[in-house]
Amino acid sequence: MALDFKSPPESICILRLSAIGDVCQAIPTVLAIQKHWPQTKITWIIGTVEHLLLKGMPGIEFIPFNKNKSIPSFFELKKKLSGRKFDVLLHMQTSLRSNLIATAIPATHRLGFDKSRAKELHSLVINHPVKVPPAQHQVDDFFAFALELGVPDGTKNWLISIPDEALEFARSHLPSEKKIVAINAASSPSKRVHRNWSTENFVHVIDQLGEQNLQTVLVSGPSEYEKDIAKRIYESVKHKPIDLSGKTNLKQFPAVIQQVDLLLSSDSGPCHVATAVGTPVIALHAATNPYQTGPYNDLDKTINVYPQCILDEYKKPLEELDWGIRAHGRNIMDQISVNEVMKMIGRVLKNTHRPQVSSPPAAIEIQM
């Protein structure tokens, strides 16, 4: 049952630390609450890395939490919140660490996931479970918290702050006379869940795009793992892309993505950054269900072999298995062909017209 506020709450605290993609998918919930209750003060406890991406969102007090120093950060947070009490806590993460952090947040109404989603003692640190349907996108999972507060359903919006200097960085590194396809070739490494398309396939795509006089740009995070994959691609292609892999900070990265015509990406956080800045994205899915974690506004552009991979592994159709189950195997991404990716790129670029921003705004709002 939704909470019945006779008047808008004075303060709401949101607890969602990570990851980059997840915090991007929580943005519509925050914006819906702001729109419904513009006078309500919103505090967001967020990971330090994720804060670098979202800082500057109007009307949000961010409290960064350093996950690499969890114990001292916990006591620092507890000290910072001493003497404060929120009307509402939206506890939107179920990890053990986040559940322990929740104990340091004083709040009257403590909303969290119901028992079907709760884990790692999550149920013990909330007093108002939010029932989330079992088979929907994570954006809608998060939005269920807003609905539980009595915020009306409606259009989901994204807003990400991009400073002038970040946009100038993007413009100075990207051509204006060509259509540009950004390539993010690496997702986070995992021993069991393999989400990366082969470097050879990316090389074929980049060279075919180069033959069509299209510009490509390599983008990635700063880890050595990601930069190594980008380096191997760069060294193998005939038509050299612009190489920005590992060379952008978390304000320059969305600025670059906002300035390109299309992002081609493995299943990873940059897909959701593209959604947040309104750039079309083709996500490659084999291990995970795009209808649960894919780019919310571009599911029609996803190259999705996940159902077949699930059938091959479990010998049952997806409909007979748990929502969100993952496919495994080192070669599952090989089921995605270069030809079908090129066809999708052609289809998207045919209907894509990059907006020309003459005066860099403080923030870019996307309505979908």
What does the pLDDT profile of the chain (368 residues) look like in tens digits? 678 888 999 999 999 999 999 999 999 999 999 999 999 999 999 999 999 999 999 999 999 999 999 999 999 999 999 999 999 999 999 999 999 999 999 999 999 999 988 899 999 999 999 999 889 999 999 999 999 999 999 889 999 999 999 999 999 999 988 999 999 999 877 767 789 999 999 999 999 999 999 999 999 999 999 999 999 999 999 999 999 999 999 999 999 999 999 999 999 999 999 999 999 999 999 999 999 999 999 999 999 999 999 999 999 999 999 988 999 999 999 999 999 999 999 999 998 766 544 333 334 444 44
Quick count: other Cβ atoms within 10 Å of Cβ 353?
8
d(CA 189, CA 252): 23
* 162: its two tokens: 């991009």
Domain map (residue ranges) of the chain: 11-154, 164-367
Dihedral pair phi/psi, residue 168, rounded to 5°: -65, -40
Instruction: Report d(CA 193, CA 301) in Å as an integer.
Output: 22
Looking at domain 11-154, does it have CATH number 3.40.50.2000?
A: yes
Across the beta sheet with 11-15, the strand order is: 60-65, 41-47, 11-15, 86-91, 107-113, 128-130
Give the DSSP letter string of 34-92: HHH-TTSEEEEEEEHHHHHHHTT-TTEEEEEE-GGGHHHHHHHHHHHTTT--EEEEEE-
Residue 112 main-chain phi, psi, to 5 deg: -155, 180
pLDDT of residue 117: 86
The CATH number fitting domain 164-367, selected from 3.40.50.1010, 3.40.50.1000, 3.40.50.10420, 3.40.50.2000: 3.40.50.2000
Instruction: Give the pLDDT score at 368.
Output: 42
Fold match between 11-154 and 164-367? yes
pTM summary value:
0.92
pLDDT at 191: 66
